[in-house]
Amino acid sequence: MAKNTCIHCTVSGCKYNTQSDNFCTLEAVQIGTHESNPKVPECVDCQSFVKG
């Protein structure tokens, strides 16, 4: 898959990470949260993550 230069990603353990230059190969990602009222970045999740 080709990298999507609009989606930067440093999660090297994700199947969709380009590994060499920190981009995602997906056309779009789903972002969500595991909190009812998120207040800090750590409460937000990339729900498109797949273990690589």
Rounded CA separation 9/35 (Å):
22
In a domain, 51, yes or no: no
19: left (phi over 0), alpha (psi -120 to 50) or beta: left
d(C-alpha 19, C-alpha 34), whole Å: 26
The pLDDT tens digits for 3-46 are 999 999 999 999 999 999 999 999 999 999 999 999 999 999 99
Number of structural domains the chain divides into: 1
Q: Is residue 52 part of a domain?
A: no
Please classify residue 20 by burial: count the beta carbons closer than 10 Å to its beta carbon, then call 0-12 exposed, 13-18 middle and 19+ buried. exposed
Residue 37 resides in a domain = yes
Q: What is the pTM of this model?
A: 0.84
> Do the domain assignments include residue 12?
yes
Range of the domain at 23: 4-46
